Structure 1
C-alpha cells in the first residue's frame, strides 16, 4: 500500500510503502501527479520503504504504465529503507536515462532531502 505523505518541497512527492504494491497504488500515484504537476514539470520522489511484501500483477503492469507515461518528468528518486535488498534495484536505476537514484538508510533522511535539493 502506498500512502502519500506531506512534503516540505513542492517539487518532491513523498510516499510511504508498506505491504503489497497494487494497481490501485499505481493509479493513485498517477492521479496525484496529474493533480499536482503539469505534463512538462519535473518532480522528485522520496519513497520510505518500510516493508514491501510483493507486487501484484496489476501493480506491476499499472506501475510500468505510469512509469512510462511520467518518465520524462522524473528527476531524482530517493529510497529510504533499512532493507538491504533495496540496494539492488537502485543499482539498476543508475543506468536508466534521465533519472538519478540513491538509497539512504532510515537514519539518513536529512541527507536524502539535502541530496534532493542539489
Structure 2
C-alpha cells in the first residue's frame, strides 16, 4: 500500500515573549492539515501579549496546497502576520521562492528564501 503522506510537523520554543517556531510541511496540504495546526499555533501565541516570532519553514517536501488549504494558509498569515519578526523559508523549488515574495505582502517582518538550511538558521539568529 502506498499511502500519501501530508501534513505538518511543528516545534515551538519560547523564551520570555520571543518564540522560535519550526514548521515542516510534507506532501500536498489539505484543509484538515490546517484544522489540526491552527489551534496549536493559536494556543501557543494566545498567552503572550505581543509575541515576537522567528520561524523556520522547511518546505523541501512540500508539493503544494489544495485550494481550501491555500485559503487557510492565507487566513493564518493575516491573523498572525504582524507577530512575525523573521521567517526563513527553506526550500528547493522555484515556486517556493515566488511564494516567499508574495508572503511579504502579508507579514510585517522579514521573509527570506533559502536553499540551504544552515544559511536560513544563521539569518534567523542574527
* Bucket of the pairwise TM-score, normalised by the shorter protein: 0.7 to 0.9
Greater share of residues in helix: 1
What displacement does 1:26 show? 2.4
Greater C-alpha Rg: 2
| Aligned length, in residue pairs | 114
TM-score normalized by the length of structure 1: 0.79
Greater share of residues in strand: 2
What displacement does 1:87 show? 1.5
The verdict on how the C-alpha distance between 1:39 and 1:55 changes in structure 2, with shifts beyond 3 A counting, is farther
TM-score normalized by the length of structure 2: 0.75
Who is 2:25 aligned against? 17
Unaligned runs of 5+ in 2: 1-6
**Cα RMSD over matched residues?**
2.1
Match of 1:112 among 101, 116, 120: 120
What's the CA shift string for 1:23-77, capped at 9, x where partnerless? Answer: 2322333222223222521212211112333311221222222111112112211
Q: In 1, distance between residues paired with 2:79 and 2:41?
A: 11
Give the 3-state SS of the residue equivalent to 1:54 in structure 2. Answer: strand
Give the 3-state SS of the residue equivalent to 2:57 in structure 1. Answer: strand
